[in-house]
């Protein structure tokens, strides 16, 4: 499992007042609170969610 690439994603802006599909992407990545950081596996699906809400998150990996 150590060969699996991961991306660190941090929610930096509030989800209040955002489009429901963007809120769903944040929930899908496991983000609930501002400044919460999660590590997700680097898959095309996760990359797509990160790209969709790139204005709400900071990511590295």
Per residue in 18-60, pLDDT (tens digit) is 999 999 999 999 999 999 999 999 999 999 999 999 999 999 9
- Total-model pTM: 0.90
Place of tokens 């990160």: 50
Output b/e per residue, 35-61; b: 16+ Cβ within 10 A.
eeeeebeeeeebeebbebbeebbebee
Instruction: Using pLDDT thresholds of 50, 70 and 90, give the confidence band for residue 61.
Output: confident
- CA 38 vs CA 17, 25, 34: distances in Å: 22, 13, 12
Domain ranges in the chain are 6-60
Contact 41, 4 (CB under 8 A): yes
Fold of the domain spanning 6-60: Ribosomal Protein L30; Chain: A, (3.30.1390)
């Amino acid at each position: 499992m150590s060969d699996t690439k991961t991306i660190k994603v941090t929610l930096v802006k509030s989800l209040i007042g955002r489009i429901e599909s963007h809120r769903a992407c944040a929930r899908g990545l496991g983000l609930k609170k501002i400044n919460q950081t999660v590590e997700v596996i680097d898959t095309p699906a996760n990359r797509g969610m990160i790209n969709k809400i790139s204005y709400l998150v900071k990511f590295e990996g």
